[in-house]
Structure 1
Amino acid sequence: MSVIPVTILTGFLGSGKTTLLNQLMQTKGEEKVVIIVNEFGDTSIDHELILSDERERIFQLSNGCMCCVVREDLAEMFLAILSVAKDSPSGFDRVIIETSGLAEPSPIAQTIIRTPVLSEHFVIDSILTLVDVKNAHYQLENYTEAVEQVAFADKLLLTKTDQVSTQETKKIAKELEAINPFVDKWKLNFNEIYSDLIGLDLFDHSSKQNSEIENDIEHMMENHEHHYHDHVHTPVNSFVIHSEDSFSEKHIMRWIQILIQKYGMDLMRYKGILNIEGNEKQLILQGVNMAFRIEEGEEWRNDPATKIVLIGKNLPEKNIREMLIN
């Protein structure tokens, strides 16, 4: 059974997650998709439900897809999907998770990364965060969940841009950049059908060549350099560490462990390319809170260099940088 990519749709209440989910289901083609939602009571799926099994919490949809309701443990739900997939002749092509409006996406990512049996069979494709620009300022000011949904995003999808002025949209964009300057933003118009938001491979880069991963990191660093956001108040900060030095694997692992011990859940997202002594290949770092993975990549195509981007709550940039480089 091949590895199943997981797309996480998150965003504050009323941002348009369910509308987008229904559009994605209309454009899925021949793919077999598993949808995971928190509760059917919170979500209206535009497909008739058939063959429901309340005990297993897995439902077949009339379009041939499966739908799961998360009421208990998320790891158990993924294991249940695995069980169904193994009994299915062709398995499943992908999983799409719609979180509740007040949920952070990080527990989902951590569950997959930290559970060996799940990380063998599932890979996170992208965390897509929908932002309702009409109400975003109030939400970001008053709800930490809204801020964290933006901080964890691999791509921001702006909704209701037709209901506010261009100036207001630009203002919200600056607030978003203050939280997460590394990601690109798309304006969503629900009168259009979007089929190119799935399979972006932005989180785990599982289907990308390492040259593409390096380009992604460069793009993130460039985005960060072009945003000046000191005037926007936010508890979330972000920075880049770039070093031409090589590091011992022991030093890197110790550095990551110290970060996790000191900052825990405040260490929100971190990813990068590592230059390790004696290794002719890149090592790819990917982390969410206290869960991380390091995988061997391809041989260096340019001069080896360590490049790491970090997002977190009030992270002391100077101390973290010095712990690694000094």
Structure 2
Amino acid sequence: MRLDYHILWFEDNLTAYNIKKEFVRDIISEFGFNYIEPRREVNGRNIDTINFDQYDLIIADMNLANGDTGMSLMTKIRDEKNIFTEVIFYSSDGEEAVRAELARYRIDGAYCSGRENDDFENKAKEVIRTLIKKVQDLNNMRGLVMAETSDCDKIMADIISNSLKNDAQRDALSLFIYNHTKQKIKEKYDKQARYHRNNRIDKIIADNLIFDSDTKVRCVQFCIDQFYADQMPEHIRDTFYNNYRRDIITPRNKLAHIIEHEENGCIILKGTDDFIFNDDMCCSIRICLQKHKRTLIDIQRLTESN
């Protein structure tokens, strides 16, 4: 699972498509995913050119151009392509008519809706919520957070590298890095000696690398403070490090390292500060990942232009 949400959409009426996709855009964003413009097809002419594996959901009008129907296309996709991605069918004939056709074609993994905007919006929201919950277990969420924070780490490394290429910035940033890593190394050395004396090898093997994510974020904050302060909004300039650590690093570390327990039907992640793993927490993390990644990309662009 990644943050981008991909939809394949069969609809020959452009006006109807444009209206309904705005509902879907809002739903996807509300659940903390990136809305990607759907691939829209008006009939089955291009089926052989579609990479179905990349789509999280298929949406289809029951009646399409050139006499094609959503049902017949999905039967072909299921039987010939062996693709079982969930699909939402809708029709101006109403939900019951869709259900009758669905029963006739015997298509698995399908949901029904009328064409009216309110009906479609409500059904789409519940279907997307249900599909997200199917893949929103702890292991999948851990994978998403690790993948997205890895992307953020790469962007931060690029920001730092670009800033070091600027002669006017290189010395100040280099000194900051030298001083900070020197202090970290001293702390690591002192801890290692203490752990050795106390035979606490478990403490050593649990330690992070010297130039970890926290150090990268500190360096980005330093770049903001020293080089880009006048180009950054105040709410980012003054709080980037603290907010990133609170919103990204702390949840990532909890997801990666602490142990899960089930209590009264809830998954509790046990640690210094226990917290409940649920839909709201997952949505909040996804929204924070999007927000901070956009900020980092903006900073990255600043470093490329200086």
Same fold at TM > 0.5: no
More strand as a share of residues: 1
Larger radius of gyration: 2
In the superposition, the TM-score normalised over structure 2's length comes to 0.31
